A and B are shown apart, each in its own frame.
Chain A
Amino acid sequence: MWEPDNAREVAECLRDAAQEHRALNIVGAGTAQYWGGDIRASTTLRIHKLDSVLRYEPGDMTIQVEAGMAVADLQSVVADHGQRLALDAARIDRGATVGGMLATADQGPAQLAFGGPRDLVIGATLVLSDGEIARSGGHVIKNVAGYDLARLVSGSLGTLAAITDLTFRLHPIPAATGTLSIETGIDEAVTYAEAIAETALEPVAAEWISGRLLIRFEGTRSGVHERLDAAAHITGVGTSILDDDEATQAWAQQAAVSSRNGHSAQDTTTLHGLARPSDVSSIVHAAERSCLEHGAVPTIGAGLLTGRVDLRIDAATLSAHAATVDQWRQDIESHDGTVTLRDRPEGLTDLIDAWGEPPSAVAALRAVKAAYDPGDLLGPGRFHPWF
């Protein structure tokens, strides 16, 4: 395990690794180690010691921090100024780092309003596989000078470059937040969410978790109340407007679907499905069907207006996991969607591929990988069988 203290040392690590042809597994807090394929690397490069704020300009609402800083720590720094990084991925509670957020492109319910990490990042420093330093973007929220390498590494899962610092656009913390809840099946939930989206009520999140619809609003205290009432009028009987404690609990339940404590448990697989919002209900039904057929127990969370379906499978045998994943993946792919394998029992990737149908641009993905990491030293195996 290599644990460099600063960006200069990260560059030295990568240079040494290149000289020794040593493959590296780059990690932050290690909360997404099993996402994608199995990495064939004997050395782990942990960047968690790069955890300082490099530059915070509250007046500009931008912050530059080292990549190993925990998102939660960043949030507490900027909260003092009434600001936040508008990311609410479940892993944040487990110490996920800002670099890890971008490398995994991980997103939470607020992606409906704010997008993902790549929509908030405005600058980055990368260390390439040969130790070369590359900076892109900068400190201003509007900037089109040069290629956007910060966005290129979004979703790269540690296979393109080591990220050593990131600059983000911040948003104000709203005066009030409110959540509406109704127990309902997925089909009605989609209908309700779409009806609310058709108004100009501007929900910031709309999630369905195993039989319950949650809609979140942000704004002024009176404005949030007005909109909660208007939305409750649409969802009708059985709707409750949650108090703060209830809301915290409800959103924690939502987060639990896609994030587990601990690492590769033997009986649980988590999958991340992406599709058109209008296909969410059929994809949720497909998940239930796959699990039923193979004797697995599903826990499902769906981003209704974003087209995200997180599926957690609990099953006794490896083959039940594999069969469930395979069937659900085929279903989503028939809807032009994708599935990413996240945490899973050891050995699962011996039975099924970590990734499904390659995208039409897979040759371009390979070319980019070859351009930045010609020796395939960064996270080899992560995108197997795509490359």
Chain B
Amino acid sequence: MTLTETTTDTARDDDTFLDSLCGRLRPGAVIVDPTALRTYECDGLTGFRVTPSAVVLADTTEEVRQAVLTCREFGVPYVARGAGTGLSGGALPTSDGIVISLQRMRAILEIDPRNLRAVVEPGVTNIDITKAAAPFGLHFAPDPSSQQVCTVGGNVAENSGGAHCLKYGFTVHHVLELEVVLADGSVVRLGGVNREQPGYDLLAAFVGSEGTLGIVTQVVVRLVRNPATVHTLCADFPSITAASEAVTRIIAAGIVPAAIEMMDALAIEASEAAVGAGYSLDTAAALIVENDGPAAESKVEFEAVEQICRDTGTTKIRIAKDSAERAMIWRGRKAAFAAVGRISPDYIVQDGVVPRTRLSEILSRIGEKAAESGLRVANVFHAGDGNLHPLVLYSEAEGQLEQAEELSREIAELCVEMSGSLSGEHGIGTDKACSMPRMFTESDLAAMWRLRRAFDPEELCNPGKLLPTPRLCGEKPGVYVPHALEVSGDIERF
């Protein structure tokens, strides 16, 4: 489904709204030029495109607040946006609404090495926090593949993970405090100077709320000490099943590597064509495993990982000799997504999660489904936490879009059937909102609506995202499929 709307169907008194908006903000802060607006019509999920009626380039919290207040006064929806790298359509505008861009708010306000924290504006890129912390031997742990460009405000909205979240956790584990502009125009702080705070954990509920509960205008993040040692290997396997077995055994052995990533032959082919990181082109799958920590522990664990790889039939192990080789291995891994563009004109990235013991099962099911549909699926993903990223390759020119979307949806829903989740890190956004009833019952979703409405009773803050709505999904958006454990009687719904 490609959603294409234009501004022509909005018959409201836009001029009064825009005049008011411009009047409250500094000159040049509001974009209305149709060509310039096109830049904001989609995020990283390019299948969904809607041109907003205006874009506010906010410089300060006060400007965000004024924009929100104006929207509230006129009943105009708004969508916050960072770098626009999201992959679930979370920053998709509405045609009758505006985009509030936080990209100009990119100051690093404070690095506090003693308290292991940094105070930054939401438009700061993920990597820039780590760069600023590096002189103190510290880093910001969440490291999504888009870290060179994605903003920390976006990381907060999506609860971003990345390759190293297996050991270090997700954005929610690394944010101490947020300054947010709420839907009523109030500016409040969630969290505080300590990781633990009295009262409901609004901070943790806000992280990952996909921009639907308010707009982040300042972030206090935790900084993590760089590990004493890092060991990285890349192991080839004759089959995805063998590589999955290695992952299962590593986890079951009680080892918590910093990262376990998997790439299949198609993903390797694409990545090698793009960056030539030295992956084997003749292997069915490769695992990248990184162990870090104190010298003795990480060495013991790394040797155990190596042994498990051998026991499960690895055909070749490449161990990074130095940080340059490690960086090269990671470059190949992190480039894989974009590189898929080299072997296919179009692709859809999926983000489902399965329990780690079911990796090989889900991957063979994906293989079967791909064969049935006649489309190719490349796999490059966070194996250690069961977070798949099947890339469904298709050609829009050849009319394969619908077929690809169907396959992609089937894969996500298959993950749910296997006690997993629709999304591990990309978010529900616009893309998977209509699949939510597959994972949650009506009463689960109603409980989530309560939170949304407590923060934003008028539903102006990023409407149509995360939760299914009749407008988006039809009156009956989907059918709840009982969890496997409910079918087996292990758990019950009542």
A residues contacting B by CB (< 8 A) are 7-8, 11, 54-55, 57-62, 64, 82-83, 105, 107, 111, 115-116, 118-119, 126, 128, 132-136, 138-149, 151-156, 160, 171-173, 194, 197-202, 219-220, 222-223, 226-227, 274-279, 306-308, 335-338, 340, 355, 359-361, 363-365, 367-372, 383, 386
Contact = CB atoms under 8 A, between A and B. Distances in A.
B194 A142 contact: no
Given A142-B353, A145-B421, 20 more contacts: A7-B494, A8-B492, A11-B494, A144-B428, A145-B422, A145-B428, A145-B436, A146-B444, A146-B467, A149-B451, A194-B114, A197-B116, A202-B228, A275-B193, A276-B193, A277-B115, A308-B196, A359-B189, A364-B190, A365-B200
Nearest to B208: A144
Contacts of A197: 116, 225
Interface stretch (B120-128, B381-389, B402-410): B381-389
B84 interface: no
A142 B382 contact: yes
Interface string B286-318: 000000011111001000000000000000000
B423 interface: yes
A285 to B, nearest CB: 18
Contacts of B23: none
Interface string B433-451: 0001001110111111011
Contact of B353 (A105, A140, A360): A140
Contact of A148 (B192, B204, B225): B204
Contacts of B424: 140, 142-144
Question: How large, as a class, is the contact surface on chain B?
Answer: 35 or more
Interface of B is mostly: loop
Given A143-B424, A200-B227, A60 B355 contact: yes
B154 interface: no
6 contacts: A105-B196, A107-B196, A140-B424, A152-B202, A156-B200, A227-B294
A306 B115 CA distance: 9
Interface stretch (B37-45, B47-55, B165-173, B322-330): B165-173
B195 interface: yes
B256 A171 contact: yes
A152 B357 contact: no
A337 B421 contact: no
A287 to B, nearest CB: 16
B107 interface: no
Contacts of A133: 441, 443-444, 493-494
A136 B467 CA distance: 13
B294 A140 contact: no
Which of A62, A133, A138, A198 has the largest number of chain B CB atoms within 10 A?
A138
B188 interface: yes
Interface in B197-253: 197-202, 204-205, 207-209, 225-228, 248, 251-252
Interface of B: 114-116, 137, 158-159, 161, 165, 169-170, 172-173, 182, 186-190, 192-202, 204-205, 207-209, 225-228, 248, 251-252, 254-256, 293-297, 300, 353-357, 382, 385-387, 419-428, 432, 436, 439-441, 443-448, 450-455, 466-467, 485, 490-494
B436 A146 contact: yes
Nearest to A8: B494
A198 B224 CA distance: 11
B450 A222 contact: no
B386 to A, nearest CB: 6
Given A57-B355, A135-B441, A142 B192 contact: no
Nearest to B136: A198
B96 to A, nearest CB: 25
A277 B421 CA distance: 36
Contacts of B353: 140, 142-143
Contact of B300 (A154, A220, A365): A220
A335 B192 CA distance: 11
B189 A141 contact: no
A146 B429 CA distance: 10
Contact of A336 (B158, B192, B208, B225): B192
A76 B220 CA distance: 37
Contacts of A139: 355, 419-420
Nearest to A159: B200
A339 B58 CA distance: 36
Contacts of B182: 364
Given A140-B386, A152-B202, A160-B200, A57 B447 contact: no
A142 B256 CA distance: 14
Contacts of A279: 193
A24 to B, nearest CB: 18
